[in-house]
């Protein structure tokens, strides 16, 4: 994230990097076994009524361009390996958002034979957004809180 070299430009460079990261995170969405409820709410979040792009968040296609991985659903056995691969393809620094009860705990599908478990059993998670499914406002709130946490304390005020 930050290089160790002491350099007069370093502080300014870090500031610019954080500014860019917080102001235009690109997101990728991966459904690991969800019922679709969270997924349609994520799409609703991106459409005119809620418009997540106001915060610079843009949904795009490739994991290689993404800063944010938005996951929904419990992790099924078939999706586990693919989730890891998508996560590994993302460049550092990367952040994972688990959307919905199933992504957080397995939800209604906890204990089903083809369900490995929740998202943070497989990859690290930075923000949890509860709900079955969470409302678009909750998703926006979760993402904005995550972005806020990326600011260094001094830059917050």
Partner 1 sequence: MTTSVQTGTPTDPALGRAETILARWAPVASRPEPNRLDVPVPAEDVAQAAQALGRERWGYLAAITGLDHGPEADRLEALYHFCSGAAVLTLRALLPRHGGTVPSVAETFPLAMFFERELSEMFGVTVAGTPDPSRLFLPDDWPTGVYPLLKDVNPQAALAAQSETAPPRLQGKSDGDRFIVPIGPQHPALKEPGHFAFEVDGEVVKGASVRLGYVHRGIEKACEGQTWVQNLYLLERVCGICSHTHATCYALGVERLAGVEAPPRAQAIRVILGCLERIHSHLLWLGVAAHEAGFETLFMYSWRDRETIMDLLEQLSGNRVNYSCNVLGGVKFDISAEQAQAIRRALDFVEERTRHYLEVVSTDTLFLGRTQGIGVLSRQEAEYLGTVGPTARASGVPIDIRVTHPYAAYRAFPAEMVLDTAGDLTARFVVRMKEVFESGRVIRSILDNLPAGDLTVKMPRRIKPAETISRYEAPRGEVFYFLRSNGSDTPERVHIRTPSLCNWTSVLTKAVGAQLADVPLLLAGMDPCFSCNDRTVVITRPRRDPQVLSWEALRSAARQDRRR
- Residues that bind partner 1 in the complex, under the rule CB under 8 A: 28-44, 47-49, 59-63, 73-74, 76-82, 86, 107-109, 111-115, 132-133, 135
| Helix %, strand %, coil % of the chain (to 5) | 45, 15, 35
Least distance to partner 1 from the beta carbon of 11, Å?
37
Shortest spacing between CB 155 and partner 1, in angstroms: 32
Give the whole-angstrom CA distance, residue 138 versus residue 144.
10
3-state secondary structure of 134: coil
CB of 147 to partner 1, least distance (A): 22
Helix (H/G/I), strand (E/B), else coil: 145:
helix
Q: Identify which of residues 16 and 108 has a Cβ nearer to partner 1 in the complex.
A: 108
Nearer to partner 1, 27 or 125 (CB): 27
Cis amide leading into 45 (omega within 30) = no
């Amino acid at each position: 994230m930050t290089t160790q070299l002491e350099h007069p430009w370093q502080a300014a460079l870090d500031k610019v990097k954080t500014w860019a990261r917080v102001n235009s995170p690109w997101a990728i969405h991966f459904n690991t076994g969800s019922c679709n409820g969270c997924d349609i709410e994520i799409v609703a979040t991106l459409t005119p009524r809620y418009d997540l792009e106001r915060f610079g968040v843009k949904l795009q296609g490739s994991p290689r361009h993404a800063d944010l991985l938005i996951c929904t659903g419990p992790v099924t056995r078939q999706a586990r390996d693919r989730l890891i691969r998508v996560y590994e393809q993302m460049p550092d620094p990367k952040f994972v958002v688990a959307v919905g009860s199933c992504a957080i705990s397995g939800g209604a599908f906890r204990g089903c034979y083809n369900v490995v478990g929740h998202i943070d059993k497989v990859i690290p998670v930075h923000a949890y957004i509860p709900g079955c499914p969470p409302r678009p406002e909750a998703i926006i709130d979760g993402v904005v809180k995550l972005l806020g946490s990326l600011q260094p304390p001094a830059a917050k005020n």
